């Protein structure tokens, strides 16, 4: 929030008070779906949301969520350099001005029980964020039956046994104290998680051309800073988990190949269902191969 508030103050100064931001942190306005609904009726002008809310509006923006596709930060950077501008244009065509894409981190399976294979994971009670279509699809692709629930239910759910496993970036697990209930983390990045800073195009177009340019420039820089900071925080937090005694589980080579094989099959299913267009997926794969 510090970067956002600083950016908001910079915008207000640069536009001589014509453009002001009011931020609502900590989910006080509801989950991502609620935020989108409030934007549609004009009660909110923008929000920082995950990709699942655009499932029916601009599904291609979920392409980075494809399971088991990214293996290294360098691959993420290569693909995003090529495709971020395309995804942001797509959002704008759908009615949302996007100031940028901010990394949250790679989601890992973490839990109370030891499991390294897909077969073992299918026996777990796995939480998924309520309303997060990408996370739900990822787990279902591996034959896992997820238990959707609100974020506020995760810690008590782990404590009572309602869930025994979560899939989340390390930074979220530590920030929300979920790591206090975790014994194991699977050394396998399952899905890339990222946020989108969007505002309603209708509201944005009410600004003068000069103020639009100022707003884009300042907030795009804010998102770039957040993106870099989140990457560093996520890497550091993974080390924190291990330093606190959480055991790193390493899949065998055969298990790793099986996870990746199912991830590739999931990509074809996403294409067949219209979640990601084939042309975009081909460009995504080309960017990946250029890095490998």
What is the three-state SS of 145-183? CEEEECHHHHHHHHHHCCCCEEEECHHHHHHCCHHHHCC
Q: Residue 200's Cα: distance from chain center in Å?
A: 20
Q: State the pLDDT at residue 123.
A: 97
- Hey, what are 72's tokens? 């290294």
Average pLDDT, the chain: 94
Say what the pTM is. Answer: 0.91
Which CATH number belongs to the domain containing residue 133 in this structure?
A: 3.40.190.170
- Quickly list H helices, the chain: 2-14, 32-40, 73-93, 118-121, 133-141, 154-160, 170-175, 201-204, 209-243, 253-272, 278-291
Interval 9-35 mean pLDDT: 92
- CA atoms of 288 and 209, how far apart (whole Å): 37
CA distances from 167 to 72, 138, 228, 271 (A): 18, 10, 22, 23
Ranking 28-37, 148-157, 165-174 by mean pLDDT, the lowest is 28-37
Q: What is the pLDDT of residues 208-265, one digit of tens each?
A: 999 999 999 999 999 999 999 999 999 999 999 999 999 999 999 999 999 999 999 9
Q: What is the DSSP letter of 246?
A: P
Q: How far apart are CA 55 and CA 132, in angstroms?
A: 10
Chain-centre distance for alpha carbon 209: 31
Contact between 259 and 68 (Cβ < 8 Å): yes
Per residue in 121-156, pLDDT tens?
999 999 998 878 888 888 999 999 999 998 899 999
Question: What single DSSP character describes residue 213?
Answer: H
Provide the number of structural domains found in the chain: 1
Cα pseudo-dihedral 265, 270, 273, 274, rounded to 10: -140
Categorize the per-residue pLDDT at 31 as very low, low, confident or very high, splitting at 50, 70 and 90. Answer: confident
pLDDT confidence of residue 130: 85
- Let me know: does 267 contact 137? Beta carbons within 8 Å: no
247, 118 Cβ separation under 8 angstroms: no
CA distance 70 to 64: 8
Average the pLDDT over each of 42-51, 127-136, 154-163 and give the range with the smallest value.
Answer: 127-136
The Cα–Cα gap between 40 and 107 comes to: 30
- The arithmetic mean of pLDDT across residues 13-21, rounded, is 97
Q: Which residue has the tokens 């629930």?
A: 149
Host domain of residue 204: 2-291
- Nearest CA among 162, 198, 180, 160 for reference residue 46: 198
Count of Cβ atoms closer than 10 Å to residue 113 Cβ:
13
User: Quick check: 281 pLDDT over 90?
Assistant: yes
List pLDDT tens digits, range 73-111.
999 999 999 999 999 999 999 999 999 999 999 999 999
Residue 205 has pLDDT above 90, yes or no: yes
């Amino acid at each position: 929030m510090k970067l956002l508030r600083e950016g908001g103050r910079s915008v207000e100064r640069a536009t001589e008070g014509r453009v002001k931001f009011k931020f609502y942190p900590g989910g006080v306005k509801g989950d991502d779906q609620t935020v989108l609904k409030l934007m549609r009726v004009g009660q909110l002008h923008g929000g920082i949301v995950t990709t699942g809310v655009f499932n029916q509006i601009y599904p291609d923006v979920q392409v980075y969520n494809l399971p088991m596709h990214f293996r290294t930060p360098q691959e993420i950077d290569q693909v995003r350099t090529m495709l971020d501008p395309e995804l942001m244009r797509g959002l704008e065509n759908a009615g949302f001005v996007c100031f940028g894409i901010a990394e949250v981190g790679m989601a890992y399976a973490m839990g109370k029980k030891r499991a390294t294979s897909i077969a073992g994971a299918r026996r777990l009670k796995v939480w998924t964020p309520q309303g997060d279509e990408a996370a739900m699809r990822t787990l279902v692709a591996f034959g896992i039956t997820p238990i959707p629930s609100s974020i506020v239910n995760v810690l008590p759910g782990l404590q009572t046994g309602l869930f025994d496993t979560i899939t989340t970036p390390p930074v979220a697990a530590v920030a929300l104290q979920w790591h206090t209930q975790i014994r194991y983390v699977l050394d396998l990045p399952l899905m890339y998680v990222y946020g989108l800073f969007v505002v309603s195009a209708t509201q944005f177009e009410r600004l003068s051309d000069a103020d639009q340019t100022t707003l884009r420039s300042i907030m795009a820089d804010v998102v770039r800073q957040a993106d870099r900071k989140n990457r560093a925080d996520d890497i550091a937090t993974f080390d924190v988990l291990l330093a606190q005694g959480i055991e790193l589980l390493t899949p065998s080579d055969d298990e790793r190949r099986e996870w990746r094989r199912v991830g590739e099959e999931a990509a074809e299913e996403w294409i067949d269902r219209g979640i990601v267009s084939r042309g975009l997926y081909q460009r995504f794969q080309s960017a990946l191969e250029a890095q490998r």
